[in-house]
Amino acid sequence: MIRAVVFDIDDTLVDFSGATGRGLLAHLATTRAVSPTDAERYVALWRHLEQIHFTAYLRGECTFTEQRRRRAREFCATAGFPLGPEESETDAWVARYLEHCDQAFTLFPDVLPALDTLRHAEVRLAAMSNSDRAYQHRKLTALGIRDRLEALVCCDDVDGVAKPDPRIFHAVCDRLGLAPAETVYVGDRLDSDARAAVAAGLTGVWLDRTGDGQADVPTITTLDQLVRLLPARTVRKGS
């Protein structure tokens, strides 16, 4: 029986990709005007570098802070934006970018209704992320949903273990005091979220907001569909 739902955070609960793209362009616009063509190119470059350097962080090759520095340095060098050689200058650049991102972060419209419905059904709620705990805690708090989540588990809570490793899925189940079979994990990535959850013994649900994909796991396009997916296998606490 299902007793808890654990959510991925970025691009599942929070419009991370949209916000970081808007945040980057707002940050760059403080330096010089950015044409629509350049805007598309800069966002694509930023996301490409994010994949490279964040993956290095997940492999334990650098800290969370250092992956941001590396990304900023390579972006500015490639795109032709001024950035001095001092680490303090890089950190200041990143801080200004993050300020713009903080202003752009939003929850997807289906998040609050889904959380309210699940909580009304007394389904326990948590979140798990391949990211830094302090960063995700601040983000979820600013968006008003951290206190709705019983547990938050991130890479730095489990010695850098990251999805799709089963150990991080088991860590959030342990935090809740539940067996994997009693837990659903829902996220926007088919392999590292849904399929990885299944491999770890949880019920994995893929949130495919585009509706374009096909998968061998339960698939939803909005979180309200998750609510309809669960009732037959869900019990109230204490029953």
pLDDT of 213 reads 77
CA distance 158 to 155: 6
- Enter the pTM of the model: 0.88
Under a CB-based contact definition with an 8 Å cutoff, are residues 1 and 235 in contact?
A: yes
- Residue 82 pLDDT > 70: yes
Q: Residue 29 pLDDT more than 80? A: yes
Query: Which of 108-112, 165-169, 187-191, 235-239 has the weakest average pLDDT?
Result: 235-239
Q: Examine the pLDDT at 238 and tell me if it is beyond 80.
A: no
pLDDT at 220: 94
pLDDT for residue 234? 54
Has residue 236 got a pLDDT over 60?
no
Contact 169, 200 (CB under 8 A): yes
Q: Rounded mean pLDDT of 33-54?
A: 94
| pLDDT tens figures, 115-166 | 999 998 889 999 999 998 999 999 999 999 999 999 999 988 888 889 999 9
Cα 54–216–131 angle (5° rounding)? 20
Place of tokens 């994990």: 185
pLDDT in tens, 168-215: 999 999 999 999 999 999 999 999 999 999 999 999 999 999 988 788
